């Protein structure tokens, strides 16, 4: 999924504001000579900039009528016109931070007796002990996009709570309702993903059709400034890890019995990429100067 980066106050990408041992190539997915880069790689700060950058459009492929809207790039990167139509390209924002809490297990928060439609996989991100000032800039950029979505649909954004300033809660729905269009789609679960067979009770009505995209970034041995991505198991991601998360926007619109519309915008996980594990961070702490190291939350620090 194409994605955009957040700028720091000096105009550089915010990812380069982290201490040296937490920096990584933010442009990992973007060819250096891509002529479309300037059109999407940074999140605009102003309302006018946002309106030139993205719009809320219809998602005709979505069968859940409450989720029929998407935030889309106006000039999709590297997706040229196909005939008379341009491919729809949902907006994604790249955010780096430390994991405060998480549940990325195959079934997420599903427990015995809990309805599958409420099951989530999630991460809660923050800026660690010493880099809250960096993370708050990510938070401000994401919050600005959420406000833009509400305003684009003529709705008033919900009031922000002061305790939300330091964290981002990003989640994805685990189960998809089985309808005529996906009835023949196989489950994405593998053997051992559901040892207690919790899904058996509702497998004809709800199904895991796609797993969360989880991977790790591995620097090249001969050039630490470059690297590659590899899939990894959800168990590899732990509290205290420094990760890159691509955030999408899940727009939910429902009408109550009185006909009044209720809009909610949720931050959704598009991918989670492990950059520096908490164990690696602890090892770096013994080798690097204090000015080069920032600690994530967790009992090890």
Report pLDDT digits (tens) over 92-125. Answer: 999 999 999 999 999 999 998 789 999 999 999 9
Q: Which segment, 120-124, 160-164, 228-232, is predicted with the most confidence on average?
A: 120-124
> Is residue 158's pLDDT more than 80?
yes
In a domain, 300, yes or no: no
1 lies in some domain? no
d(CA 204, CA 183): 8
Task: Measure Cα distances from 82 to 3, 40, 53 in Å.
Answer: 21, 20, 21
Query: What digits encode the pLDDT tens for the residues 46-88?
Result: 989 999 999 999 987 777 788 889 999 987 655 554 444 456 7
Q: Which domain, by its residues, includes 174?
A: 14-292
230-258 average pLDDT score:
93
In this predicted structure, the answer to whether residue 267 has a pLDDT above a threshold of 90 is yes
Residue 222 pLDDT > 90: no
Residue 89 has pLDDT above 50, yes or no: yes
For residue 166, tell me if it sits in a domain.
Answer: yes
Tell which phi-psi region holds residue 27, choosing left (phi > 0), alpha (psi between -120 and 50) or beta: alpha
Cα 218 from Cα 125, distance rounded (Å): 21
Q: Is the pLDDT of residue 169 over 60?
A: yes
**Cα gap 240→298, rounded to integer Å:** 5
User: Does 4 reside within a domain?
Assistant: no
pLDDT score recorded for residue 261: 84
Number of domains in the chain: 1
- Confidence class of residue 34 from pLDDT cuts 50, 70 and 90? very low
Residue 6 lies in a domain: no
| Residue 117 domain-assigned (yes or no) | yes
Q: Is residue 119 part of a domain?
A: yes
Report if residue 217 sits inside a domain. yes
**CA 215 remoteness from chain centre:** 13
Name the phi and psi angles at 217, rounded to 5: -100, 125
């Amino acid at each position: 999924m194409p994605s955009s980066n957040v700028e720091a106050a000096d105009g550089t990408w915010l990812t380069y504001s982290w201490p040296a041992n937490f920096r990584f190539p933010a442009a990992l997915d973007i060819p250096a000579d891509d002529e479309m880069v300037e059109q999407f790689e940074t999140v605009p700060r102003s309302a006018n900039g946002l309106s030139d950058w993205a719009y809320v459009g219809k998602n005709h492929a979505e069968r859940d009528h409450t989720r029929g809207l998407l935030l889309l790039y106006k000039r999709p990167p590297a997706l040229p016109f196909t005939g008379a139509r341009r491919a729809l390209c949902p907006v994604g924002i790249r955010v780096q931070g430390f994991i405060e809490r998480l549940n990325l297990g195959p079934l997420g928060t599903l427990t015995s007796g809990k309805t599958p439609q409420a099951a989530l996989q999630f991460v809660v991100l923050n800026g660690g002990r010493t880099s809250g000032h960096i993370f708050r800039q990510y938070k401000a950029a994401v919050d600005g996009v959420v406000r833009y979505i509400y305003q684009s649909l003529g709705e008033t954004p919900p009031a922000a709570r002061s305790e939300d300033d330091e964290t981002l809660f990003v989640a994805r729905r685990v189960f998809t309702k089985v309808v005529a269009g996906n009835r023949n789609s196989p489950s994405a679960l593998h053997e051992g993903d559901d040892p207690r067979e919790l899904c058996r009770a509702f497998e004809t009505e709800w199904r895991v059709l796609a797993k969360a995209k989880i991977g790790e970034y591995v620097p090249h041995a001969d050039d630490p400034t470059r690297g590659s991505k590899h899939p990894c198991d959800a168990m590899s991601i732990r509290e205290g890890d420094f990760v890159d998360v691509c955030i999408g926007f899940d727009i939910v619109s429902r009408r109550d019995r009185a006909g009044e519309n209720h809009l909610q915008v949720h931050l959704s996980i598009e991918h989670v990429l492990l950059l520096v594990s908490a164990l690696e961070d602890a090892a770096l702490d013994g080798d690097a100067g204090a000015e080069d190291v920032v600690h994530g939350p967790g009992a090890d620090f």
